[in-house]
Amino acid sequence: MQHSAVLNVMIKAAHRAGRTLKRDLGEVEHLQVSLKGPRNFVTAADRRAEQIVYEELAKARPAYGFLGEEGGARAGTDKSHRWIVDPLDGTTNFLHGIPHFAVSIALERDGAVVAGLTYNPANEELFIAERGKGAFLNDQRIRVAARERLADAVVACGMPHYGRGDLALARHEIAAAQQNFAGLRRYGAATLDLAWIASGRLDAYWERDLSPWDLAAGMILVREAGGFVSDCDGKDAVLTKGQVVAGNDTMHRELLRLLKAAGNEASREPSKEAVAP
Ligand code: IPD
Ligand code: CA
Ligand code: CA
C-alpha cells in the first residue's frame, strides 16, 4: 500500500523506536528477577524511544513543533504543525513483560489532528489513519464494529489507581457497564484501546484523566474507521479535558447515557473516598 510522505516519516520513526522497545522488553523480563527491578530501566526505555522518535521526525520536518510525554513541549518555527507523541503507552504492562504496549504518534495541523499512528512492536500491529483517507491495520482497511445491542458488546475502560481519579464515580460507571454490556475489559494502554475500537475488536471505550499523547492518534483512527469520539459530556473537548468516549454511533450514544446516569447516582451518594488533589 502506498503511504503519504508524512505517514512514511511517522512509520519509520515508530519502527525504529519499536525495535529498541522490543529489545528492552526482553531486558525487562530479565531485570524483573534482579535486585533493582525494572522501573529505572523502563524509564530509560521510555526516554530512549522518545529521543529516537524525535530525531526521526525532526530530521524529516525540522520546523514542526513536538509534544512528547517524557520530554514535554519543543517549539517549532512552523506554528501550524505539531507532533504529539507517546513513546511507550502501557508502561505498567511493559514493566511486567505484558506484550500489550505501543508507540503512538499524531500530527496536528492548525489545532486539528490530521494523521495518527499506533504501533505495538510486540505483535507488529501497525494502526494508521489520515484525515479523509480511512484507517488501516497492517495496510488492511478497518471499520468500527456494527453491533447495536449492549448485551452483545464488549466495553473497555480505564480504572483510577494509585490515588489518581474519582474512585466513587468510577465505581458507579463500572457497575453500570457490568449491568449492561456482555463484557468489561481493562487492558492498560489507552492508545491500543482506541485502535481496537477502530478495528472493531472492542465495541465501546471510556476513560478520564488522560493526556493528549494518550488520545490524539486514537481519535483520528476511530473517526476514520467510521466511529464517534467525544469527551464524557458528548462534547469535542477530548484533548483539553483528557476524557474519551468512543464507539460506533449507537454504542457512543448509549455509553454517554450510561455514564450520565452513573454520574447522577454518584453525585447523590455522600462522598466516602477523599479524592487526591
Ligand atoms: C497510561 C495508559 C493507561 C491509562 C493511563 C495512562 P502510560 O499511559 O494508557 O492505560 O489508564 O492513564 O497514563 O503512562 O503507560 O504511557
Ligand atoms: Ca507513556
Ligand atoms: Ca500513555
- CB count within 10 Å of CB 42 equals 21
Ligand 1 center from residue 101 Cα (angstroms): 10
- In the chain, what percentage of residues exceed pLDDT 90? 85
**Of residues 69 and 271, which shows the higher confidence score?**
69
Instruction: Check whether 42 has a pLDDT greater than 90.
Output: no
Residue 90 CA: nearest ligand 1 atom is 15
Residues, beta carbon < 5 Å, ion ligand 3:
86, 89, 214
Instruction: Check whether 34 has a pLDDT greater than 90.
Output: no
Q: How far is CA 126 from CA 17, 141, 181, 233, 258, in A?
A: 13, 12, 28, 30, 32
Instruction: Give the mean pLDDT of the chain.
Output: 93
Cell of 190: 489507552
Contact 182, 205 (CB under 8 A): no
pLDDT tens-place string over residues 99-138: 999 999 999 999 999 999 999 999 999 999 999 999 999 9
pLDDT tens-place string over residues 153-187: 999 999 987 667 899 999 999 999 999 999 999 99
| Residue 170 CB–ligand 1 contact under 6 Å | no
Q: Within its chain, how far is the Cα of 174 from the centroid? A: 19
* pLDDT value of position 164: 75
DSSP state of 97: T
Instruction: Check whether 272 has a pLDDT greater than 70.
Output: no
Residue 158 CA: nearest ligand 1 atom is 11
* pLDDT value of position 27: 80
* pLDDT value of position 1: 84
| Residue 86 CB–ligand 1 contact under 6 Å | yes
pTM: 0.95
| Residue 212 CB–ligand 1 contact under 6 Å | no
How large is the average pLDDT for residues 43-72? 96
In this structure, the dihedral spanned by the alpha carbons of residues 157, 158, 159 and 160, taken in order and rounded to 10 degrees, is: -150
Return d(Cα 140, Cα 48) in angstroms, integer.
30
Q: Which of 5-9, 92-96, 138-142, 218-222 has the lowest mean pLDDT?
A: 92-96
Cell of 128: 494508521
* pLDDT value of position 261: 98
Identify how many contiguous H helices and E strands the chain contains and give both numbers. 8, 13
Classified as helix, coil or strand, 163 is: coil
pLDDT tens-place string over residues 178-220: 999 999 999 999 999 999 999 999 999 999 999 999 999 999 9
Q: Helices marked H in the chain — which ranges?
A: 5-32, 39-60, 91-95, 167-180, 190-198, 212-224, 238-241, 249-268
If one residue of 91, 120, 241 were mutated to test the ligand 1 pocket, choosing by the most ligand atoms within 8 A of its CB, it would be 91
* Ligand located closest to 92 CA: 1
Contact 276, 209 (CB under 8 A): no
pLDDT tens-place string over residues 225-245: 999 999 999 999 999 999 999
Instruction: Check whether 140 has a pLDDT greater than 70.
Output: yes
